[in-house]
Amino acid sequence: MNAFAGRMEGRQGVTGSYLEIRDLVKSYDGYQQAVRGISLAIAKGEFVSFLGPSGSGKTTTLMMVAGFEQPTAGRIVLGGREIAPVPPHKRNIGMVFQNYALFPHMTAAENVGFPLRMRKRPAAEITRRSREALAMVGLADFAGRQPRELSGGQQQRVALARALVFEPDVLLLDEPLGALDKNLREHMQVEIKRIHRELGITTIYVTHDQTEAMTMSDRIAVFSQGVVEQFAAPLDVYLRPATRFVGGFVGDSNFFEASGRTGMLEVAGLGTLSLPQAPVSASGRYDVLVRPEAIGLWRGSGDRAGHCVVPFTVTALVNYGDSVLLIGSSGDLSLRARIPFMLATDIREGTALSLSWRHADMHCIPA
């Protein structure tokens, strides 16, 4: 750990809610709302991802936290201080943009030192802290290069160092890896998590990439049409989605319509099933989710108790290398099953077989 990381770590340790977004609303025209009453409480040192499709309100919310957009209504409280009226440069918040936003005529060190110069820090301090920040992102030997002499990943690291050099209270990243290729993007995910782990800085990361959100986050806020559908740990979002939208947006899915009470549900195409894990639904209707990887091949033997077993005809296959996604139908039901590659070597389009899954792997969402 270098001196920069040591200083940042020394500022951590406060528990409980640190950044609070309270009933936040944003309307650009006075009629339609891009953000509709969002409330979130983020702990100090937490890594939170805002996940959702384009136009869902995640970037607008981030920009209001940064101060580049003003809320129509609601509050933003950082460390007990209301910051919605505070201009961006006085919020002590670091920002990393997707397009890097580096000054082309400045070296890497000059780009990183720019926020300190704006804060009128002494020249010696600017040099020292810029060098420490570049070392933190693995670019100590690239201080004298200009952006055109750096790769896309290196430019993004410079942008990250610049956002961290003045020791911000919160780090905001707006789809920072969208312009990078797959391998470099995965490498940068690891690097960003490493830096977060070393610094312990409160971080909000905007992305539409499910994998990024699942692998990097302490919690994920799933956005849709200006509201947060669910705010929970990654595994909760994946295994126990709060709404049908979350279940369909995060990961692959099979949905069945169901109705009933007290855990006995009539599931379309499957009959009456005992699903005691079903929550209370005021309407008596449910969307029942089964993930493709929870479905396996049924070999025609074994105890069927607690299992669904259905005939299945393959209409398409998607080979992922280690696994194969089987797409097809069981009567009127469309189904998707993801099975290990070694079990799918003899399966072709048109193959008829049987699939099975456990009742316990069915997640019920009140409709």
**If you average pLDDT over every residue of the chain, what do you get?**
92
**341 falls within a domain:** yes
CATH code at position 286: 2.40.50.140
Rg, the chain, Cα only: 25
Using one digit for the tens of pLDDT, what is the confidence trace for 41-99? 999 999 999 999 999 999 999 999 999 999 999 999 999 999 999 999 999 999 998 88
Residues 265-284 as b/e (b if ≥16 CB within 10 A, e otherwise) read: bebeebeebebeebeebeee
How many structural domains comprise the chain?
Answer: 2
Is the same domain home to 37 and 173? Answer: yes
Domain with 297 in it = 260-366
Q: Model confidence at 263, in pLDDT bands (50, 70, 90)?
A: confident
Is the same domain home to 115 and 70? Answer: yes
**Confidence (pLDDT) at 15:** 47
Is the same domain home to 158 and 10? Answer: yes
Q: Model confidence at 13, in pLDDT bands (50, 70, 90)?
A: very low
CATH code at position 203: 3.40.50.300
Max distance between CA atoms of the chain, in angstroms, equals 77
| Identity of the amino acid at 81 | R
Alpha carbons 223 and 230: distance in angstroms, whole number: 8
Residues 6+ apart with CB under 8 A from 347: 314, 317, 324, 326, 353
**Confidence (pLDDT) at 99:** 84
Using one digit for the tens of pLDDT, what is the confidence trace for 296-306? 999 877 678 88
Burial of residue 81 (number of CB atoms within 10 Å: 0-12, 13-18, 19+): exposed
**What is the rounded (10 degree) CA torsion for 229, 235, 21, 226?**
-30
Q: Model confidence at 10, in pLDDT bands (50, 70, 90)?
A: very low
Alpha carbons 173 and 198: distance in angstroms, whole number: 17
**Confidence (pLDDT) at 313:** 97
Q: Does 354 score more than 70 pLDDT?
A: yes
**174 falls within a domain:** yes
Q: Shortest CA distance to 224 belongs to which of 52, 22, 64?
A: 52
Is the same domain home to 233 and 282? Answer: no
Is the same domain home to 321 and 185? Answer: no
**Confidence (pLDDT) at 315:** 97
Q: Does 9 score more than 80 pLDDT?
A: no
Q: Model confidence at 133, in pLDDT bands (50, 70, 90)?
A: very high
Is the same domain home to 169 and 72? Answer: yes
